[in-house]
Amino acid sequence: SQELEQSPQSLIVQEGKNLTINCTSSKTLYGLYWYKQKYGEGLIFLMMLQKGGEEKSHEKITAKLDEKKQQSSLHITASQPSHAGIYLCGADTPLVQGAQKLVFGQGTRLTINP
Amino acid sequence: ETGVTQSPTHLIKTRGQQVTLRCSSQSGHNTVSWYQQALGQGPQFIFQYYREEENGRGNFPPRFSGLQFPNYSSELNVNALELDDSALYLCASSLRLAGGLSYNEQFFGPGTRLTVL
């Protein structure tokens, strides 16, 4: 079964600094999703990556999928307090008849200090 | 466009009781998945419903059951509650087309926080 490992598990950075969160899969990734979660709340979709070498950006957040499609990274530039939260990577995993479920990493808790 | 909604937001039950959680899918979506998220962990897949049938199931015992209604809303039922069932329960909706092609992006609701005492 597919497993995702995120690193680091927690991260404390000073406001304005850059940071990177990594997500490593035990199997080839066919759809990799990044979500953000405020403590105890639902997941907010950030980005989806499918192709090896793909890179997507939204505002100050950039996500990449490596060429071998087994590792993804999420990079935040010039971090702000609004970036604080839990970041989760999720991978498409087949169910039956074309249906998919998501397998998640354990999450990375990001704290931004002023 | 209406997003995914869940009710109730919080729930406190005692061991051995039964609970029903509800989810309304995003407008236009026909597939609902349920996930359990324990404190400090990533969400774990419970099951998925499409066309009112269970589409797949994670490693959860039979006391976790569900339903999907013709309007694509869904319920998660848990019988004989145990302390370890305390968690955030997340519902996610997505669109699956006839013929098996799926738009895999899942939109999540705000969750129901279940506490079992």
Q: What digits encode the pLDDT tens for the residues A85-94? A: 999 999 988 8
Q: What is the mean pLDDT of residues B32-41?
A: 95
The shortest C-alpha distance from A80 to chain B (Å) reads: 23
Which percentage of chain A shows pLDDT scores above 70?
Answer: 98
Q: Give the whole-angstrom CA distance, residue A114 versus residue A38.
A: 18
Bridge-based pairing state of the strands B64-68 and B53-57: unpaired
* Residue B101: per-residue pLDDT: 56
| Beta carbons of B42 and A40 less than 8 Å apart | no
What is the tens place of the pLDDT at every residue in A31-50? 899 999 998 789 999 999 99
What integer pLDDT is reported at residue B100 of this predicted model? 57
CB atoms near residue A75 (< 10 Å)? 16
Q: Is A101 on the interface with B (CB under 8 A)?
A: yes
Contact A101, B58 (CB under 8 A): yes
Structure-derived torsion over alpha carbons of residues A92, A28, A19, A62, reported in degrees to the nearest 10: -60
Among A100, A104, A106, which would you mutate to test the B interface (most chain B Cβ atoms within 10 Å of its Cβ)?
A100
Please answer yes or no on whether A99 and B50 come within 8 Å at the CB atom.
yes
Per the structure block, which two tokens stand in for B14? Answer: 């005692």
Q: Dihedral sign, CA of A87, B43, B9, B55?
A: positive
Nearest chain A alpha carbon to B113: A40
Segment-wise mean pLDDT, segments of 10 residues, chain A, 114 residues: 93 97 93 92 92 93 93 97 97 81 95 95
Question: CB A40 to CB B113 under 8 A?
Answer: yes
- In this structure, what token pair is assigned to residue B42? 């990533």
Contact B38, B90 (CB under 8 A): no
Query: In angstroms, what separates the C-alpha of B80 from chain A's closest C-alpha?
Result: 24
CB atoms within 10 A of CB B62: 7
